[in-house]
């Protein structure tokens, strides 16, 4: 039984906003299956009681002083955008029919 | 090319001009980059202007800093204000960041001169620098071989003598593995030691910036210049940075050093790499360390945990490339179609593979089985390292299982490529520092690197052992010391 099906890969590609050709879908299904198969060694470990580590160094709730200070200029922040209108990022329609 | 320390000393004392040093580096880049493809962008005009400024300051009696006039190569995932920063990806081609990474600003404040931006595996995902949208980098020791990766451009630049210092980033070995394959010194600091502000994120809990140099003393000097707390990175360690250069030659008499059995005996570690590592261990013993076998059992699960955790974090970090705020946009009638078309055209196959792997590992129904489990394995690895460091000050292991391999040899099978990282990944998962030092050559005459691993914040001790290995390494082979300009044997 393969670890990941072609349908799974197609679903994951959609979630990740990637379009795959049939050939890519085939290849990625095999390759992702091989990596997940390798990871099967940790699946077998009985470690329910072990706490997870998300971050290697114990720092928590790092705050800065609540003071006004300079930040990136708006025009600079917009300068690299593909499309801008009225000092805002402009995108194609999100809802409804395209114009 | 002289070492960074030699250059800085000569420039600070007025013995050499920074301009002359920088011109020499730019000439070497012009001569060799066509063959090596180490640099994606060469910032010749900015570099000459910065060098002239340093010379003016020296003439005015000022001290430009501990890296005065030292040419440095910056991996192209480090943000440079007004200078293209591509991550070797089409999706960021032509993008010019509006700010400098903290490390870039700190190097400049120490007097270093950036000469350009270097090639990498796209978004630092790879072990050969073949996953670049702008072509592979080649190993200066043999252009048919890979330089390793993902910091292959910075490492090849240093190994070819184009500049004495490169900055890389190391998420699973991306500084240390290319250093081993090119005969350079590569240092991954403790997680949080160096600010990640302005490093384009791959896997945020693993990424760390560090130096690639020809000597251990240069690595220590550069790390001193870039390390230290940065309020712009909330994961930056608030501790002061210890002196790393003073004491470098104190030796290792009485240190307890463990030979990390699980990594020395890992599947795929070639016999010549094992032989050089064993010789390095003998050298540490001869220098007065107490050397014994050490075990960190959970490291055998490192590769599996890493190839769940790193892609999971990457899938989240790379969600920002949506064609809205910067970088590539492929036009389409709706936003959702535009997002998809942009990402489909902008990302290369390895990045897509890791995004999908990470998305899968985080998706409903699989989160506990893959990501949750991998995070627990990470705890086990940290616990086992902690137990080993109750007995030992440092650990030793190979850096890369093999010497440099042929271009194209591992591109067809991602898992084969991932196995290159087996000895370097555990330090990233634990957040610990590690350094690769050249130690002789393999049966093919190509460099071998040996790795010294240390507990969090123990860079000073780690560097002392690295200096001992450097002094004991076989001469005239593998490493860059004693080599003539541009990495050729004298």
With a CB-CB cutoff of 8 Å, which residues 19-78 of chain A face chain B? 19-20, 24, 28, 31-32, 34-36, 38-43, 45, 47, 50-57, 59, 62, 64, 72-73, 76-77
* CA B443 – CA B292 distance, rounded (Å): 27
A43 vs B369: CB contact, 8 Å cut-off? yes
In this predicted structure, the answer to whether residue B84 has a pLDDT above a threshold of 60 is yes
Least confident among A66-70, A93-97, B122-126, B410-414 = A93-97
Say what the pLDDT of residue A2 is: 66
Tell me the C-alpha to C-alpha distance, in Å, between residue B350 and each of B124, B132, B303. Answer: 10, 10, 17
How high is the pLDDT of residue B481? Answer: 52
Model pLDDT, residue A59:
83
Structural domain span for residue B255: 4-263+269-296+382-481
Report residue B235 as tokens.
């994961």
Please report the pLDDT score of residue A90 as a whole number.
Answer: 97
A36 within a domain of the structure (yes/no): yes
Q: How many domains does chain B have?
A: 1
Strands in B43-184 per DSSP E: 71-75, 113-118, 165-169
Tell me what pLDDT residue B341 has.
Answer: 98
Q: Which domain holds residue A17?
A: 6-43
Long-range contacts of B454-457 (CB under 8 A, 24+ apart): B454/B393, B454/B394, B454/B395, B455/B385, B455/B386, B455/B389, B456/A56, B456/A57, B456/B190, B456/B191, B456/B430, B456/B431, B456/B432, B457/B190, B457/B193, B457/B237, B457/B239, B457/B433
In a domain, B356, yes or no: no
| Preceding peptide of B150 cis, ω within 30° | yes
Kindly tell me if the per-residue pLDDT of A52 is higher than 80: yes
Chain segment B159-201, per-residue pLDDT in tens:
999 999 999 999 999 999 999 999 999 999 999 999 999 999 9
Question: In this structure, is residue A95 part of a structural domain?
Answer: no
Q: Is residue A37 part of a domain?
A: yes
Q: Which pLDDT band holds residue B74 (cuts at 50, 70, 90)?
A: very high
Smallest Cα distance from A4 to chain B, Å: 9
The reply to whether B229 touches chain A by the CB within 8 Å rule is no
The C-alpha atoms of residue B143 and residue B138 are separated, in whole angstroms, by: 5
Instruction: Give the bridge partners for B260, in sequence order.
Output: B294
Touching check for B316 and chain A: CB below 8 Å?
A: no
- Domain assignment present for residue A96? The answer is no
Q: pLDDT tens-digit profile of B252-281? A: 999 999 999 999 999 899 999 999 999 999
CA distance B133 to B346: 9
Flag whether pLDDT at B394 surpasses 90.
yes
SS3 B297: helix
Q: How many domains does chain A have?
A: 1
Burial of A3 (0-12, 13-18, 19+ CB in 10 A): middle
- Mean model confidence pLDDT for chain B: 96
The pLDDT of residue A62 is 86
CATH number at residue B468: 3.90.1300.10
Distance, in Å, from the CA atom of B36 to the CA atom of B319, rounded to the nearest integer, reads 32
Residue B443: count of CB within 10 angstroms of its CB: 12
pLDDT digits (tens, 9 = 90+) for B85-113: 999 999 999 899 999 999 999 999 999 99
- Whether residue A85 is contained in a domain is answered as no
Q: Is the pTM of this model over 0.90?
A: yes
CATH code: domain of residue A22: 1.10.20
For residue B489, the model assigns a pLDDT of 36
Per-residue pLDDT averaged across B117-125, rounded?
98
pLDDT at A97: 66
In a domain, B218, yes or no: yes
């Amino acid at each position: 039984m393969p670890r990941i099906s072609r349908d799974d890969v197609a679903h994951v590609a959609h979630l990740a906003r990637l379009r795959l050709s049939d050939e890519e879908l085939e290849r990625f299904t095999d390759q992702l299956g091989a990596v997940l198969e390798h990871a099967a060694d940790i699946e077998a470990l009985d470690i329910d009681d072990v706490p997870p580590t998300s971050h290697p160094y114990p720092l928590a709730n790092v705050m800065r002083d609540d003071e006004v200070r300079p930040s990136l200029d708006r025009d600079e922040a917009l300068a690299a955008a593909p499309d801008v209108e009225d000092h805002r990022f402009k995108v194609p329609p999100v809802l409804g029919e395209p114009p | 090319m002289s070492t960074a320390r030699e250059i800085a000393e000569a420039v600070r004392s007025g013995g050499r001009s920074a301009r002359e040093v920088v011109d020499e580096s730019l000439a070497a880049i012009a001569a060799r980059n066509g063959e090596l493809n180490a640099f994606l962008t060469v910032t010749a005009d900015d570099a000459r202007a910065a060098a002239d400024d340093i010379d003016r300051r020296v003439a005015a009696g000022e001290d430009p800093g501990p890296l005065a006039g030292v040419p440095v190569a910056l991996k192209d995932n480090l943000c440079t204000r007004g200078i293209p920063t591509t991550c070797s990806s089409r999706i960021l081609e032509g993008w010019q960041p509006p700010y400098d990474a903290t490390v870039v600003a700190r190097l400049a404040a120490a007097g270093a001169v950036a000469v350009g931006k270097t090639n990498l595996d796209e978004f630092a995902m790879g072990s050969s620098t073949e996953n670049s949208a702008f072509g592979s980098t080649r190993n200066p020791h043999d252009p048919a071989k890979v330089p390793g990766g993902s910091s292959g451009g910075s490492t090849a630049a240093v190994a070819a003598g184009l500049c004495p210092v490169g900055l890389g980033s190391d998420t699973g070995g991306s500084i240390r593995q290319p250093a081993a394959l090119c005969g350079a010194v590569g240092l991954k600091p403790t997680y949080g030691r160096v600010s990640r502000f302005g490093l384009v994120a791959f896997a945020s809990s693993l990424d760390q910036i560090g130096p690639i140099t020809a000597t251990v003393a240069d690595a220590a000097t550069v790390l001193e210049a870039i390390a230290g707390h940065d309020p712009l990175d909330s994961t930056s360690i608030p501790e002061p940075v210890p002196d790393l250069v003073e004491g470098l030659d104190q030796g290792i008499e009485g240190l307890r050093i463990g030979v990390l059995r699980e990594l020395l005996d890992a599947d795929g570690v070639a016999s010549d790499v094992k032989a050089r590592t064993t010789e390095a261990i003998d050298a540490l013993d001869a220098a007065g360390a107490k050397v014994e076998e050490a075990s960190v059992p959970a490291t055998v699960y490192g590769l599996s945990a890493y190839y769940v955790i790193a892609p999971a974090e990457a899938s989240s970090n790379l969600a920002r490339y949506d064609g809205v705020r910067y970088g590539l946009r492929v036009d389409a009638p709706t936003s959702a179609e535009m997002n998809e078309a942009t990402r489909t055209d902008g990302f290369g196959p390895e990045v897509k593979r890791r995004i999908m792997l990470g998305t899968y590992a985080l998706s409903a129904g699989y989160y506990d089985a893959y990501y949750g489990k991998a995070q627990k394995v990470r705890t086990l690895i940290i616990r086992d390292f902690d137990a080993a460091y109750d007995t030992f000050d440092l650990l030793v292991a190979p850096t890369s299982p093999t010497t440099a391999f042929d271009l194209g040899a591992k591109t067809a099978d991602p898992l084969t490529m991932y196995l290159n990282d087996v000895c370097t990944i555990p330090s990233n998962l634990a957040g610990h520092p590690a350094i690769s030092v050249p130690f002789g050559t393999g049966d093919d005459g190509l460099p071998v690197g040996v790795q010294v691993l240390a507990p969090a914040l123990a860079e000073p001790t780690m560097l002392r052992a690295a200096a001992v290995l450097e002094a004991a390494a076989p001469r005239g082979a593998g490493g860059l010391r004693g080599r003539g300009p541009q990495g050729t044997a004298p």
